[in-house]
Chains A and B, each alone.
Chain A
């Protein structure tokens, strides 16, 4: 049977996923006709595109077996003969689903057709906005609802001074009430966005008719200058195909469907923003998803009906948490059968309102602004008995130990999963959030219920297995505290007193080695510690695929004198090493045999170099741009700071490698936002970013604190690093660690000292700095340590005969001995 889906937005995609999950691709041959030239993407997070999130990351994967035709929109439908026409061909169908979404509504304002006026709906719109915004200074958004604030965020991220014009007397009039709107306005204005409320736009002006927009005239008489204008005044259903096919549409647009999402023609369904169901069109994704589920069921012979729209929303707009659920707004006007419980803290900009039934027992709705952490519990309690006193409910999730939801409460409203279903999954063996997600689909859509899922796991007594390996039933962080508190100094002590038997392995041994190094910073290869190190740490060099090593001397901040550069060149030439510039602004010398390492390092140390710790889970490089010393744009001395920091933290061992960078101005040439900690100069000092990463899963660093003095900056970096070292898991980079523990928590600990451990972290760093020594110098100074660097115990000078090189572009490269693909599997 043939299914044609018209439109590939979030709701169309959800239908495809739901069909694939039910193995419907066996019965249905699915064709998707899409107008846009890209796959469905997360439209809810559109402004993230200007915050460094790529189109690819926003896009969804299409299930296998679906014929997705991008850029081939349906032009007409003929329900009589069950045919749909595109520019290329005519397709027949047994069932057709309209998921064409909406188009942006452009109010009939004079000048709306001027150049420089845009709508905000698609990635293509965003690209056009970005292109036009280059070099512009001021932007205005018409519309202060959800979409308008998203658009305002986009303009801000493009570096424009931003105005928002809203006709209603408050921002987000459909989601928040007056008091909530006032708190929201406070946040938004603190970000520098100017709001004009209770004002209609009467004209978009330019210098001459047809010339680019240069500002707005408001109904209040005010003039808002704007080089670019974005209209975000709502959407209208794209129901033209249905109208053309003679299918009935609602008075305000939208294809009329029954509670099975069927149009007047039983073979044609409509879902999402294009559908009018129960007399309404919904511009939110959750009701659209519910409709997609209904149609997926119906296509497989089921009889599912639309469960009613959940218009609850929780979002982060311009960094502010806003949530609204249930019937939150109607009781504004003197209603006698409802009670409002209102919590307002203007100093901390937190507002919450719960709407209760008149006996104060049933939760009917609510609004949260500034702190939406109570949202998952509240949403799950909607329509039922209040599980706790109202003010207790407003406490952040996780601090609500005494709240017990009824079993029938929907924990995940996006996917209609109840508490009982989650508990059932736990009883059947799901022991972590990912397992619950794949088993019940709870938490797979908006994700706001994940804290609740964790709480239910904890309540069910499920303890996540954090065992490091078969030898320790502790996590790295737990082991760190044990070693620190008990003052243990050797692996034998640790495994005898706290292990589960055995003599360790390649997982726990380097972990204990790293913990001992972080705590004591002693030479890592003396006594028993030598046996714990991975080969890279053991030989203080990086093993490459043919068993040779690479050597990286430290070049702090990437600054190097010509003499030292020549010295590196001479060493590389004399030992015939393959030479390459690294991404961290230093130089990597490849192809050294183990017995050559001491001779190479003797030469490097004589020339003034020291270990670069490229072989360790340790601080690697702090790269820098040239900064204010030379650059005409630089505002601070980025090179000087990078060198000072690299010398401060050199040799610091950690759960994983640590990279950093310092940029001398906002142009960010050092790419600091891709680093574990990155520093960007401002006119007033330094901005500190943490948790960035390149690599497999790139992540932009989060702003931890801004406009710091150098002294403050160093204090925060000290604490950040030590807190990470103390609490992160094995091989957990700062990016994953920040996501696990939360940026706000980290900020509280290191800036406000919420745990009272800042002094201890400072002391740990002072101990590290005071005890730093160059490992390579310490090795060369000691004949016993040197005796490890032999090719063979019985032939110390004989080179390993399996190491062979050929030459490529004038340098040595390994002659391939094995047949290994980069993933490590044998071909």
Chain B
């Protein structure tokens, strides 16, 4: 099945090096991040350690070459490119395709 792109917000709504949550469908929560170089990443918003939907509110940074976000609850760090937890092997969050078209941010679903 072809990927469906869902428009979530204007690109200008994303703050540099911060995240924001988006709701896809009725209950899929995606955390969108805009990096310092302008790139956008999307991962699942639910913190797998606690079950709370908070990853979009973590601090964005880098570890080595990896762009990262740190969960605001217990500070585990996730690689924004792969969704892997860099502090707890075997823990990961979903990664979503994301693109910017005509100034709008679109997330790939389905």
Contacts and interface: CB of A to CB of B under 8 A. Distances in A.
A820 interface: yes
Contacts of B36: 503
Interface string B3-18: 0000011000101111
Interface residues of B, number: 41
Contact of A818 (B16, B50, B63): B50
A535 B58 contact: yes
Interface residues of A, number: 43
A528 B34 CA distance: 13
B77 A505 contact: yes
A534 interface: yes
Contact of B17 (A531, A788, A791, A792): A531
What DSSP secondary structure best describes chain A's contact surface? Answer: loop
B75 interface: yes
B75 A506 contact: yes
Given A793-B20, A794-B22, A531 B60 contact: yes
Contacts of B64: 470, 502
A794 B27 CA distance: 13
A535 B57 contact: yes
Given A528-B16, A801-B27, A506 B46 contact: no
A528 B17 CA distance: 8
B98 interface: no
A535 B73 CA distance: 9
A135 B35 CA distance: 68
B63 A505 contact: yes
B27 A531 contact: no
Contact of A503 (B21, B51, B53, B61): B61
Contacts of A792: 21-23, 29
B9 A802 contact: no
A505 B72 contact: no
Nearest to A548: B52
A795 B70 CA distance: 24
A545 B49 contact: no
Nearest to B13: A793
Interface string A489-533: 000000000000011111011100000000000000000101111
B15 A531 contact: yes
B70 A506 contact: yes
Nearest to A508: B61
B32 interface: yes
B99 to A, nearest CB: 16
A545 B13 contact: no
A269 B75 CA distance: 54
Contact of B8 (A510, A545, A793, A820): A793
Interface string A526-561: 001011111110110001011100000000000000
Contacts of B53: 547, 800, 802-803
Contacts of B8: 793-794
Interface string A343-360: 000000000000000000
B43 to A, nearest CB: 15
B15 A793 contact: no
A826 interface: yes
B52 A505 contact: no
A743 to B, nearest CB: 33
A817 B54 contact: no
18 contacts: A505-B70, A510-B59, A531-B16, A535-B58, A538-B57, A539-B57, A543-B72, A545-B73, A546-B52, A791-B23, A793-B8, A793-B13, A793-B22, A801-B26, A802-B53, A817-B52, A818-B50, A820-B74
**7 nearest CB pairs, A to B:** A818-B51, A506-B70, A505-B61, A535-B72, A531-B17, A817-B51, A547-B52
Given A470-B64, A791-B23, 15 more contacts: A503-B61, A531-B15, A531-B59, A533-B59, A534-B72, A545-B52, A547-B52, A547-B53, A790-B20, A792-B29, A793-B9, A795-B22, A802-B52, A817-B50, A819-B51
Interface of A: 470-471, 502-506, 508-510, 528, 530-536, 538-539, 543, 545-547, 594, 788, 790-795, 798, 800-803, 817-820, 824, 826
